[in-house]
Every structure is written in structure tokens, then in C-alpha cells.
A and B are shown apart, each in its own frame.
Chain A
Amino acid sequence: MRARDTRGEAFVAGAFIISIVAALGLAVVYIAGGQTQLEGVFLFLALGGIGVGLVAWAKRFMPAGEETEERGRLESTEEEVAAFTADFEAGERLLGRRSLLVKLAVGAFGALGLALLFPVRSLGPRPGRGLKTTAYAQGPIRVVTEDGRFVRPAELAEGGLATVWPEGHRASAEAPTLLLRVDERELDLPDDKMEGTVDGIVAYSKLCTHTGCPVGLYQQAEKLLLCPCHQSTFDVLDGARPVFGPAARPLPQLPLGVDDEGYLIATGDFDGPVGGGFWDRER
């Protein structure tokens, strides 16, 4: 028994000593310039030494779980409830005698609450048409690559793909556009959409119609665009129709043209709102 006690105490003491040494080590590591892994390990030992010491101490030398306590009753006695009710109702009667004041006070609280809701309106603008239009809407506008260059149709080889923005809006989160060059004969678009292509170059919004992730993966052989977020897949040749995954609508198409200097331009906005859907998208 005695020997066991001594060993138990030595264990707890050892844990605390490890903690002290590790804490000093932690300080030394910090002073020496810091090192993430060592900091983590020393902090582990310093905290863990105290933790193990305390728990072992409790388990070996403190009264174990045989104490008993009565739960007592949670709910109040009927007398207590009755006494409370009597007191409360006495106050209520006092208030009720001035019923006009009660009504006005309630009205005042309500009015104030309502008035205080208005500043919430300052948090953001009315959603309006912003969700339905992009910077392309301002009319014929050149497209630019990420490093700011204009694009000539010939620069995009067949099977090629480029991400472009409307000129002057390269940071725009709503306007990234995919230029894809495919074999013109394979493109299966209605005539009016066909007009928006240039020599087999077709432009689609890069934002997935599911939750707006950039549709960044292109399976060139199958002419499929794949969204890495939720794996929606769009058929480039068929107007970016969704063929797999949770997206329900095609990627909006951007009508393309060529200006006098031979650069690719957008002749108008996308043929629908870009990104994920919303309640009045079609309104």
C-alpha cells in the first residue's frame, strides 16, 4: 500500500516536472527564434504534464465517485406557485387599472422596434438589376485577357481556351468569360446564337449556373466544361447545356464580334444572368 502510494506520487510528480521542463523549453525555443513544430511539442508537453498530473492525482489520491446527493425536486411546490401567482397578479391588476397607459407603452415599444429596423436597410443596396447585368451591357466592348491584352481570333488555336473580361473590368467577379475555339461545323447552336460566334470561337460565362464557381476544367476531347466545385458538366458544342451534375441551366452565352482593328469584342451582354439562379431571375 505504502509502496503503491509512493509510486503514484512519483508519477504525478514526474508529470509536473515534465511540464516545468517543457515550459522552459518553450521559452528557449521562442527566444532562439521560434520553430513551429517544437513550439507545438513543448506546449503539448507543458500542458499535457499538468493535465496528466491533475487527472492522475485525482484518480489516485482523491475521493472516488461514491458520494451521494439527493436530487431534490425541480418544480416548485403548489404553494410556491400560488404565492408567486398572487404577487404577480397583484402587480398586473395595478398595471391593468391604467389600461390606456399599458396600450400606449406597448405601442411605444412596437414603434421604437420598428423604427430601429430601418438602419438595417443601410447594410446593402436594393438588389435591383445588378444581378442580371454585367459590364458587357454597356455595348460593344473589347475583351481582354488577365494580363490586359486584347485578343485576335487567330490567336486562339482550335481546341484552345482562354479566360477574358470586358475591357476595364478585369477584377470583375461577375464577368469572367471563357473563349473556346471548336470546329465551327460541330457547333450545334440555333442561328441567332451562331451569329454570336467568330470562326468557331464561342464565349460562355465562366460562372457555373449552380453556385457560381468558375467552370475551370475543360475536357478538350469531349468538348465538356467541368465545374470543380460540384462536378456540373456542360456541353460546349450544344450551347453549354448541362449534361451532368446539379446545374440545371446552360452557361449564358456572350455574343462575339470583331471590331475594325480585328480584335474580339462582345457585341452585348450575356444572354441571361450569370451564376446561380435566384427568385426573379427571369423577370
Chain B
Amino acid sequence: MTARRRRPHRPRTPLTRSTARWLDNRLGAAGFARKALDKVFPDHWSFYLGEIALWSFVVLLLTGVYLTMFFEASTQEVVYRGSYEALRGVEMSKAYESALDLSFEVRAGLVMRQIHHWAALVFVAATTVHLARVFFTGAFRRPRELNWMVGVTLLILAIVEGFAGYSLVDDQLSGTGLRIAYNIAISIPVAGTWLASLFFGGEFPGDQTINRLFVIHILLLPAVIATVIGVHLAILVRQKHTQFPGPGRREDNVVGERVWPTFAAKGLGMFFLTGAVLSLLGGVFQINPIWLYGPYRPADVSSASQPDWYMGWLDGALRLMPNWEIRAWGFEIPNPFFPGVLLPGITFTLLFLWPFLEARFTKDREPHHLLDRPRDRPLRTALGVSTMTFYTVLFFAGASDVLAITFDLSVNRVFLILRVLLFGLPPLSGWLAFRLCKELQVWDRPGASEEATVPGVRAPTSGEEVRREIAPEDEREEPASAGVPRR
């Protein structure tokens, strides 16, 4: 009875399916989409570093849009009447007032601002560590020189974007940082004063500065960074990811997990985990407490003024540079030019050119899709470690005053120690890294006995090992290039 009343059975297609069909009828996307689902990504913990940077950027966009709803990039002078007692009645710019208001008056505003700030710190940090991973594993070699350069561009953009962001707030600390930036700008030979005037809209501080930084920070650079990230990922997809050597892994294949569902689930999971950690940092760990710094007054400065971490090496270089200037015929190249413009210029130029410099040095211009283990390239690893040591010493020099207080030393003594370390530590750490690589190579060798790891005992055990030790670079050529497809 009931069966007869029922309408003839028609299998209902779920809405998602019918939407997909609708789209495919108009775009013919099934073939492309299937290729995307089946794409294989190699799996290694270090491959997630870049992903952390990417997801931090997404968190930056989400929290940043929220903050933009409340922030007012105006230098107009107002008297604070908000709920933070200590600053009530103080004259300040509207920019600083609105930053205080979104921290204290807007519900969930402070957690958003702190997540935003932490995300910026992590964004640059993850980008830097990702760059180090790519460097130490040789992932920048042909055909990925292009994407290496795109990545270095992203690092520079991230640093500038971060600086523009924390300079917006117009508190005492950010104003001091901007003044230093202005003075570095005018230190550029010939064009410096013009560039500074065009950027700041006149002399420092200029009533245009905050507004221009705002446009750069919320519109220009985010759009550029998003585009460059898109290019970075597009090249990655086109060239397919590198992989570490292992069973079944060759130069001409990719072994890993397919996008659907494993890689997609892990990648999305990474986004939520990154967001989770940034939320915990932003909620529980205070960052950039602008209300303690007070509004920017050009004649004031607090001691222990440290910038965000990624500017630390530049601040340290400004401090450690001896007080040399070049003056001739009434013209001069002021001191800040050398640590403030020349050093970053050389740093990023060398970073850009590194894939080509290494190719020239090793004469290796073959494509590589299998990664190096850092220990198998002791020279490159040593160079990387020693370079990182150099910039780490500069980073600590950025806190020379804090170090002097912490260790109860005179500032003069701290400078002396740091200058010695700046040139002494890099060779030392490089040499140590080189030795460590060599020891690890011995450790790796099948049948390596315990005593083989003890220096001095190893050499006489076999002539073969001694030969390896002297010429590991040449030796690596053979297995590496064996699997390279040739035309």
C-alpha cells in the first residue's frame, strides 16, 4: 500500500555534487581538479616551515583586516580620555589613541592586536628558518634558483611590512625607530635627502608619515606579498617539491602522499595549529605593550629601546660600526650608510645570487631534485653556519645596553667583546660545523665502528675512508647525477 503511494525512486544528488557538475559544465575543470587531487607531495618535518610562514601570513590578513576597522592613521593631536588611567589627559596623536582604544575599549581587540603582532614575528621567523632549510639542503639549485630569488624577495618584503606595521602606532618606541629609519634614508649619498623628503612628505616627522605607512602596510605590501606568495607556490607546484634521498626516491620521481586526502588534511591541520599557537601567544604572552611607551615625543627616548627581532641585526650593526665617515670636497657619506644601507644591500644581494655563486664554485649546473643532507656538503654547511653566526652576533649587539646591564659590564667592554665575537665566532663556528659534518659522515658509513668516531683512530683503519674525507665533494657528483634525466 505505502509502496504504491511513494513516488518513483530517484537517487538524489547531494548539493556539493550538483554544484561541482554545474561548475564543470561551465569550466570543464574535472581533469585539472583530478590532477590537483592526485598531486604527490614528499613528507618531511622541515617542509612544513614554509607552510608555517604561509599560514602566519593568513592569520596576519585575518587579524589585520579586523584591526583596520578600528585604527585611524592620523597625526591629529587629541587628548586621551579613554579607560587607561595612566595616560588620561595626555596629548597624543589620533593614531596612538585609536591603537589604545582598540586595545582597551574594543572587546576582543587586544587579543586580535597581540595575535597580529605575534603572527608578524612568527611570519618573519618561519620565513627565515625556511630559507635556512632550503639553503642547507641545497634546494635552491637548478631548477629552483628562480624560486629562491622569489623567496628572498618575500623575506625582504616581510621585514619591511613588519617595520611599517609597528611604526604605525606612533608610540615612543615606534617613533624612535622611524626617526632612525629617516636618518638612515638621508645618509644615502646624493639622493638620500630627496628620497627621504618624498617618502616622509618633508622633514621628519612630517604629518604624512603615518598615513603613508598605513597605505603601505595595509594595502600595497599585503597585495604585493600575497601576489609573490602566489608566484612562489605556483613555481613550487610547477617544478614539484624536492625530496630527501631514500629507497625508491630518484631524481625523476616524487614519493610522498597525495593531496587528497592526506596532504590536504595535514596542510589544513597545519593552518589550524599555527593559528592555535599564535592565539595562545597573543592571548597569554604580552607583546608590544604600547600603553607603557606613551605617545611619541621627538625629544624623549627610553633606554633599552629594542626593535622587533628581525630588525635587531641592523640595530646591532648601527651600534658596532666604528665612527667612520667619508668626507671630501664638502660632501660626506655619513656613518649610518654603511651599517644601515650597505650591509643589508650586500646581505640581500649575496642571498639573491647564492644559487649562481655556488653553481660557479662547484661547477655543478645539473638539475637537482634530491636534497642534500647538510653533513654531506660540509663546506656549504660551514659557510651557512658561519654566516648565521655573524648575523646572530649583530642581533645580540642590538641589545648591547641590555647586555651591559644584565652582565654588569661597561658599555665599552660589551662593544669590545661583541666586536671580537663578530669576527672571531663566524670562522670558529664554521670550522666546528665543518668538523661536525665530517664526523657525522663517518658515523653514517655502513659498518662504522665505535672507535672510528674518535679522531686520530679513524685515519689508519682504511685508506678508502681517508680518500672520502679528502674529496667528498667530487664523490657526491656520481650518485647525484646518475638519476638525472638527460635529453
Smallest Cβ-Cβ distance to A213: which chain B residue: B301
In the complex, whether A33 has a CB less than 8 A from a CB of chain B is: yes
1/0 contact trace for A24-68 toward B, CB 8 Å? 000000100110111111011111101111110111001111111
**B401, A228: Cβ atoms closer than 8 Å:** yes
Taking the complex as formed, is A210 at the interface, i.e. its CB lies under 8 A from any CB of chain B? yes
Selecting from B253-261, B384-392, B424-432, the interface stretch reads B253-261
Q: Mark A123-165, 1 if CB is under 8 A from B, else 0.
A: 1111100110000000000000010000000000000000101
B239 touches A74 (CB 8 A): yes
Say whether A62 contacts B265, CB under 8 Å: yes
Q: Which residues of A contact B325 (CB under 8 A)?
A: 248-249, 277
Q: Does B453 contact A (CB under 8 A)?
A: no
Pair B193/A50 contact, Cβ less than 8 Å? no
Query: Does A181 have its Cβ within 8 Å of any Cβ on chain B?
Result: no
Q: Is A176 interfacial (CB 8 A cutoff)?
A: yes
List the B residue with the shortest CB-CB distance to A247. B323
A100 at the interface (CB under 8 A from B): no
Are B179's CB and A36's CB within 8 A?
no
Which residues does chain B contribute within 8 Å of A120, judged by CB atoms?
A: 198
B255 touches A65 (CB 8 A): yes
- A7 proximity list for chain B (CB < 8 A): none
The reply on B476 being an interface residue by CB < 8 A is no
**Which residues from A are CB-within-8-Å of B335?**
210, 246-248, 277
| A229 close to B (CB within 8 Å) | yes
Instruction: Say yes or no: is A280 at the interface (Cβ < 8 Å to chain B).
Output: yes
Q: Smallest CB–CB gap between B484 and chain A, Å?
A: 10
Residue A92 CB within 8 A of the other chain: no
The reply to whether the CB of B477 lies closer than 8 angstroms to some CB of chain A is no
Instruction: Verify if B236 is at the interface (C-beta below 8 Å from A).
Output: no
CB distance from B263 to the nearest CB of A (A): 8
A-facing mask of B295-325, CB < 8 A → 1, else 0? 0001111111100000000010011111111
Query: Does A173 make an interface contact (CB < 8 A)?
Result: yes
Complex contact B111–A40 (CB within 8 A)? yes
B125-133, B152-160, B202-210, B372-380: which one contacts chain A? B202-210
Q: Which residues of B contact A232 (CB under 8 A)?
A: 323
- Surface stretch bound by A, among B1-9, B35-43, B219-227, B351-359: B35-43
Q: Is there an interface contact between A276 and B330, defined as CB atoms closer than 8 Å?
A: no
The number of chain B residues with a CB under 8 A from chain A is 106
Closest to A64 in B: B257
| Contacting pair B193 A278 (CB below 8 A) | yes
| Chain A positions 165 through 195: 1 when the CB is less than 8 Å from some CB of chain B, otherwise 0 | 1000001111010000000000000000000
Q: A65 touching B257 by the CB < 8 A rule? A: yes
CB closest chain-B residue, reference A282: B330
Chain B residues near A283 (CB, 8 Å)? 330-331
**B81: chain A residues within 8 A (beta carbon):** none
Q: Would you call A68 and B254 a contact (CB within 8 A)?
A: yes
Most buried by B among A38, A53, A74: A74
A228, B193: Cβ atoms closer than 8 Å: no
Interchain CB contact under 8 A, A70 and B252? yes
Residue B334, interface by CB 8 Å: yes
Q: With the chains together, A43 CA to B284 CA distance in Å?
A: 11
Chain B residues closer than 8 Å to A214, beta-carbon distance: 298-301
* Bound CA span A130–B265, Å: 59
Closest to A55 in B: B269
Report whether A245 and B319 are in contact in the complex, using a CB–CB cutoff of 8 Å: yes
Rounded to whole angstroms, the CA-CA distance of A198 and B379 in the bound complex is: 65
Contact indicator per residue, chain B 375-416, by CB within 8 Å of chain A (1) or not (0) = 000000000000000000000000011000000000110010
B433 within 8 Å of A by Cβ?
A: no
Task: Report, nearest first, the 8 A-B pairs whose CB atoms are least far apart.
Answer: A40-B283, A277-B334, A51-B272, A54-B269, A48-B276, A276-B183, A51-B273, A176-B299
A-B contacts, 27 listed (Cβ < 8 Å):
A36-B114, A40-B280, A40-B281, A46-B276, A50-B269, A51-B270, A52-B273, A54-B268, A55-B265, A57-B265, A71-B240, A71-B253, A71-B369, A124-B199, A124-B201, A125-B202, A131-B186, A171-B298, A173-B205, A212-B179, A216-B301, A228-B305, A231-B415, A244-B415, A248-B323, A280-B331, A281-B332
Given contacts A245-B415, A279-B188, A282-B327, 5 further A-B contacts (CB under 8 A): A40-B284, A65-B257, A126-B194, A173-B179, A173-B204
Binding site for B on A (CB under 8 A): 30, 33-34, 36-41, 43-48, 50-55, 57-59, 62-71, 73-75, 120-121, 123-127, 130-131, 146, 163, 165, 171-174, 176, 206, 210-214, 216-217, 228-232, 242, 244-249, 275-283
